[in-house]
């Protein structure tokens, strides 16, 4: 048996332990993140996928009791809950070099299971959107990123990745994050608008950061969906939506700045020697995209431009994110 399978199975086992709840889930979403979707390059954040099971909890669900015990939350504010499972691959830009590339980011794979609780609080002319997120997973060879990338590149006749001997070592991680948005709501002609600031906090041995953002949504029937899609390291946004026969759509744009106090994927392993680079503390994202909702389906696409994350980085990164959701 390949050695990577056992540790990689831990987050999946956690997700499967929730299977009685998953059976009653209302919506399923699959998100694909890849630099090829936006820039045509293949490096840095090379690929990621995330599977969401989302549902609106009943009145006695544990998530409502949890919300009722937290400062600033109420049990009836919980809008939806999501169980998540995902995998991500990070590489330097030149994957055909077998030697250590000291001035580019480390090779790294990660696998995780996550839980998100979302709250929505309507007010007169505006609303609050909250999110609490827990992720448990593994960075390192146990995530299986080397084998996955080699097989995909072989099947697509792409460049052979040769530097995985220098990837980060196995390290479990636990990360907790909180997001909060304040959104004004207006109408102009036949369009609905929603815009306002947001704050985010994350703490753990994978990421520790504080963020501030300013976002805008505009379109028709905004009330059927709940937010702007997020791209890592930002905490996963809500994929929940209301099915209806009528067609709905919205465009979105967002600026986000983060103070990164820690990023294992750049700083290297916590307890073992590994490749690392000089991380920049201030990182900014610009994001635009479009979401379409019809019947029991929703499709959202986002493209993100990110400022340099570490010293010596040649140019900014650009990623694409595609999310397909359906009601079960």
Q: Does residue 20 register a pLDDT over 50?
A: no
User: Could you give the CA distance from residue 31 to residue 48 in angstroms, rounded to a whole number?
Assistant: 8
The predicted-structure confidence for 233-261, as pLDDT tens digits, reads as follows: 888 888 888 888 889 999 999 999 999 99
- The pLDDT of residue 181 is 95
Domain spanning 5-327: which superfamily? Outer membrane protein (2.40.128.140)
The shares of helix, strand and coil residues in the chain, as percent rounded to the nearest 5, are 15, 50, 30
Q: What is the dihedral of CA 44, 269, 113, 70, to 10 degrees?
A: -110
| Mean pLDDT value of segment 79-105 | 94
How many Å is the Cα radius of gyration of the chain?
A: 20
Strand 244-263 versus strand 191-204 pairing type: unpaired
The predicted-structure confidence for 180-209, as pLDDT tens digits, reads as follows: 999 999 999 889 999 999 999 999 999 999
Which residues are paired to 287 by β-bridges?
254, 304
Q: Which residue has the tokens 């998953």?
A: 22
Do 136 and 108 form a contact (C-beta atoms < 8 A)? Answer: no
Look at 18 and 281; give whichever has higher pLDDT.
Answer: 281
- The pLDDT of residue 252 is 96
Q: Does residue 297 register a pLDDT over 90?
A: yes
Look at 270 and 14; give whichever has higher pLDDT.
Answer: 270
- The pLDDT of residue 244 is 86
Q: How many CB atoms lie within 10 A of CB 189?
A: 5
User: Could you give the CA distance from residue 71 to residue 48 in angstroms, rounded to a whole number?
Assistant: 33
The predicted-structure confidence for 151-169, as pLDDT tens digits, reads as follows: 988 888 888 999 999 999 9
């Amino acid at each position: 048996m390949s050695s990577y399978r056992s540790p990689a199975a831990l987050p999946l086992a956690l997700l499967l332990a929730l299977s009685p709840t998953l059976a009653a889930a209302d919506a399923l979403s699959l998100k694909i993140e890849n630099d090829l979707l936006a820039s045509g390059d293949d490096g840095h954040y090379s690929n990621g996928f995330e599977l969401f099971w989302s549902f609106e909890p009943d009145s006695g669900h544990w998530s409502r009791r949890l919300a009722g015990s937290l400062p600033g939350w109420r049990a009836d504010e919980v809008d939806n809950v999501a169980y998540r499972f995902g995998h991500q691959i990070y590489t330097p830009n030149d994957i055909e070099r077998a030697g250590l590339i000291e001035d580019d980011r480390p090779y790294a794979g990660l696998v995780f299971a996550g839980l998100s609780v979302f709250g929505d609080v309507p007010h007169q002319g505006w609303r609050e959107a909250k999110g609490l997120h827990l992720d448990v997973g593994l960075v390192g060879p146990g995530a299986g990123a080397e084998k996955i990338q080699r097989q995909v590149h072989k099947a697509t006749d792409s460049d052979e990745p040769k530097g995985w001997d220098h990837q980060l070592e196995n390290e479990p991680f636990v990360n907790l994050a909180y997001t909060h948005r304040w959104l004004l709501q207006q109408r102009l002609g036949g369009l609905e608008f929603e815009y306002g600031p947001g704050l985010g906090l994350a703490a753990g041995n994978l990421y520790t950061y504080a963020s501030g953002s300013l976002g805008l949504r505009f379109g028709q029937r905004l009330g059927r969906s709940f937010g702007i899609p997020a791209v890592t390291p930002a905490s996963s946004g809500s994929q929940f939506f209301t099915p209806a026969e009528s067609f709905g759509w919205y465009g979105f744009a967002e600026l986000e700045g983060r103070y990164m106090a820690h990023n294992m994927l750049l700083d290297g392993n916590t307890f073992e020697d590994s490749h690392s680079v000089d991380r920049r503390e201030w990182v900014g994202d610009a994001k635009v995209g479009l979401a379409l909702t019809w019947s029991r389906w929703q499709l959202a696409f986002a493209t993100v431009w990110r400022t340099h994350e570490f010293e010596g980085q040649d140019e900014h990164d650009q990623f694409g994110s595609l999310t397909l959701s359906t009601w079960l």
